[in-house]
Amino acid sequence: MKLTREKLLDMYRKMALSRAFEETAIRLFSLGKVHGTAHFCVGEEATGTGVCAGIELQDLIYATHRGHGQSISKGMDIKRMMAEFLGKATGVCKGKGGCMHIADISAGNLGANGIVGGGIPIAVGAALSTAMQKIDRVVVCFFGDGASNQGTFHEAINLASVWKLPIVFACVNNRYGMSMSVNASMNITDISVRAASYGIPGRSVDGNDVLAVHDAAREAREHARTKGPVLLVLNTYRIMGHSKSDSGAYRKKEEVEEWKKKDPIKRFASWLVEQEVAAAEELATLDAEARSTVEDAVAFAESSPEPSLDTVEQDVYA
């Protein structure tokens, strides 16, 4: 599908922003400024950006614990996102969730989830609500290869297929569930074949090709809106460890190095230059802008107040 220059550059901007956000987050960890943990999607940026670029503004997403790229691509404010990462009162969740449980519901982001597979039934509920209220939108449910082995995945995708709900199940297959390789965690090599069990279309896509992800998401959205659920499997690779405490003992360095060569941002940049959509210098400027946006966000977050202690019991009940 042919995209406008504006759209293509916006996609590049989102990917660059996601990378800059995470590189900065890693630096903040090393400076001892972070209380908690984080799960990075370095190398997986084409999945969140490609999917969010392929759907519409009114569509909802349900994100994962490895969801910085998903949230940024859905339009989360970087300042409030960084403030949440640092646990500040100005954070998008008032410092209560951290980046593992971040949400921006008014912007259509129903939230990340700390439980692997925990969000899949909830996304199905949002799709049910969409259908019952006859709203013209779809729900995209992000989850990982690991989550596709959870009971909730099978229960939820079955329910959605029986009710023909407007939902796209977007499985980000980054090849590892914490330390366990997909080769060991399942007896199939293509996760999309699981769709056949539920009588819905399943499609496997190169998850490092943002344009392929975009096109697949666009088509899946149309199918979901008119005919019901689709399972989209975005095959990529988790370059970083599972979280901040990962020695990487379970995989070979060569494997990681091989995948680093397939960096989705560099790949998209080369394509943009080759197709004469943008000059290399222009992309370098976008990279610099992304870093500066994130630095501004860090300054905002660091100068923001801690949540006052009297908020500890706020928002348990409505």
- 309, 36 contact by CB (below 8 A): no
Quick check: 114 binds other proteins (CB under 8 A)? Answer: yes
Rounded least distance, CB 311 to other proteins, Å? 9
Q: Taking CB under 8 A as the rule, does residue 120 contact other proteins?
A: yes
Kindly write down the DSSP assignment for every residue of 21-85, as one continuous string: HHHHHHHHHHTT--SS-----TT-HHHHHHHHHHS-TT-EEE--TT-HHHHHHTT--HHHHHHHH
- Tell me the closest approach of the beta carbon of residue 296 to other proteins, in angstroms: 22
Cβ proximity to other proteins, 285 vs 311, nearer residue: 311
Choice between 8 and 38, CB closer to other proteins: 38
Q: Is 158 in the site for other proteins (CB under 8 A)?
A: yes
Looking at the Cβ atoms of 135 and 288, the one nearer to other proteins is 135
Residue 78 touches other proteins, criterion: CB under 8 A: no
Closer to other proteins at the Cβ: 177 or 241?
177
Q: Put residue 117 in one of left, alpha, beta given phi > 0 → left and psi -120 to 50 → alpha.
A: left
For tokens 């916006």, the residue is 10
Closest to other proteins by CB, 102 or 272? 102
Which has the closest alpha carbon to 73: 116, 43, 98, 109?
109
Choice between 107 and 212, CB closer to other proteins:
107
Phi, psi of 176 (to 5 degrees): -140, 135
- When asked if residue 105 is in the footprint of other proteins (CB under 8 A), the reply is yes
Instruction: Tell me: does residue 164 bind other proteins (CB under 8 A).
Output: no
Tokens for 23, please give them.
């590189």
108 or 241: CB nearest other proteins: 108
Residues numbered 255 to 274 that lie near other proteins (CB under 8 A) are none
Helix-then-strand count for the chain, H and E: 11, 7
Contact letters for other proteins, residues 121-150 (x by CB under 8 A): xxxxxxxxxx-xx-----------------
Q: Does 308 bind other proteins (CB under 8 A)?
A: no
Among 71, 152, 204, 236, interactor with other proteins by CB under 8 A:
152
Enter the tokens of residue 311: 């908020």
Rounded CA-CA distance 140/70 in Å is: 11
From 33, 101, 244, 251, residue interacting with other proteins (rule: CB under 8 A) = 101
Of 59, 104, 206, 263, which one interacts with other proteins (CB under 8 A)?
A: 104
| List of E strands, 96-183 | 139-144, 167-173, 176-177, 180-181
Among 118, 219, 289, 291, the residue binding other proteins under the rule CB under 8 A is 118
Report how far residue 42's alpha carbon sits from residue 76's, in angstroms, rounded to the nearest whole number: 18
By the rule CB under 8 A, 96 interacts with other proteins = yes
# of chain residues touching other proteins (CB under 8 A): 48
185 φ, ψ (degrees, to nearest 5): -90, -10
**8 A C-beta contact, residue 15 and residue 45:** yes
Chain residues in the site for other proteins (CB under 8 A) = 60, 62, 91-97, 101-106, 110-111, 113-115, 118-130, 132-133, 151-152, 155-156, 158-159, 162-163, 314-318
